[in-house]
Amino acid sequence: MNLPNKLTVFRMILIVPFVFVMLTDVCGAAGKWIALALFVGASLTDLLDGHIARKYNLVTNFGKFMDPLADKLLVCAAMICLVETGQIPSWVVIIIISREFIISGFRLIASDNGIVIAASYWGKFKTVFQMVMIVLMIADIAVIQIVTDIVMWIALVLTVVSLIDYLKKACIVSIYGCASEKGIVNQDKLEALLGKRVAEGQATHREQCLPRSRKELRREGGPAGKTGERQQHHNEEI
């Protein structure tokens, strides 16, 4: 197991003591600060494992699957603990967790069809504000309670907006992607509909979120003529 994968597993292990400290009084008044340190430490491993994996070409199928799973487990565990301590309304957590299940379901369906839809900036902003919200709620500093409430509402709005944005892209890919394969809509039009731009040095948009064409598969030595065989591509999540 390489270093990025070890960091991912370590992040999942940290969830256990984090939840224990959050839901018990074993550590007394220092408990919330210990829980905060555990959460921040676990969150930092998320930054490290992705950076190391990309920089040293250590991306693995295990990491592709477990990294986003570990992120969701950490965030969901933290928010459920905050519901238990009365620091966040349960309906807010239900909306946020429901969004994650919906997106995961669509990703699974798209993956089965050889399509990976790139994460948008909305999703990245949502993740940042959720993390900040959790940190502020764990710290529970009375003088900045208004700031905590504002961050919570921003995180909630971004959760809904990112869900709508993702569902829109999923519909575009499912409708126009099939039409593109049949020659009804060309690839350039599909890319324009998705509003993607290809950054220098990164994979092309087609590699990120469109099915590979038969010509490309033939050029790579793949079974170009077989129906239903597609190559899956990984794109990082937020």
pLDDT at 203 over 50: no
Mention every residue, 6+ apart, whose C-beta is less than 8 A from residue 181: 211, 213
Place of tokens 């957590």: 93
Average pLDDT over residues 121-128: 85
Average pLDDT over residues 68-74: 86
CATH architecture of 1-86: Up-down Bundle (1.20)
Structure tokens at 206: 């087609």
pLDDT at 61 over 60: yes
Mention every residue, 6+ apart, whose C-beta is less than 8 A from residue 161: 122, 126
If you average pLDDT over every residue of the chain, what do you get?
76
pLDDT at 196 over 50: no
pLDDT at 232 over 70: no
CA–CA separation, 5 and 60 (whole Å):
8
Q: In 3-state terms, what secondary structure has residue 189? A: helix
- State the maximum Cα–Cα separation within the chain, in Å, rounded to a whole number: 66
Q: Give 149's pLDDT tier (boundaries 50, 70, 90).
A: very high
Amino acid type, 128:
V
pLDDT at 192 over 60: no
Q: How much is the pLDDT for 138?
A: 93
CA angle 217, 218, 222 (to 5 degrees): 60
Average pLDDT over residues 100-129: 76
Q: How much is the pLDDT for 54?
A: 83
Place of tokens 């890319």: 191
Domain boundaries, the chain: 1-86, 89-238
Could you report the per-residue pLDDT of 6-40, keeping only the tens digit for each? Answer: 999 999 999 999 999 999 988 888 898 999 999 99
Q: Which residue has the higher pLDDT, 9 or 64?
A: 9
pLDDT at 184 over 50: no
For residue 173, give the nearest of 230, 95, 236 by alpha carbon. Answer: 230
Average pLDDT over residues 157-185: 70
Task: Answer left, alpha or beta for residue 211, where phi above 0 means left and psi between -120 and 50 means alpha.
Answer: beta
CB 172 within 8 A of CB 193: yes
Task: Answer left, alpha or beta for residue 236, where phi above 0 means left and psi between -120 and 50 means alpha.
Answer: beta
CA–CA separation, 194 and 204 (whole Å):
13
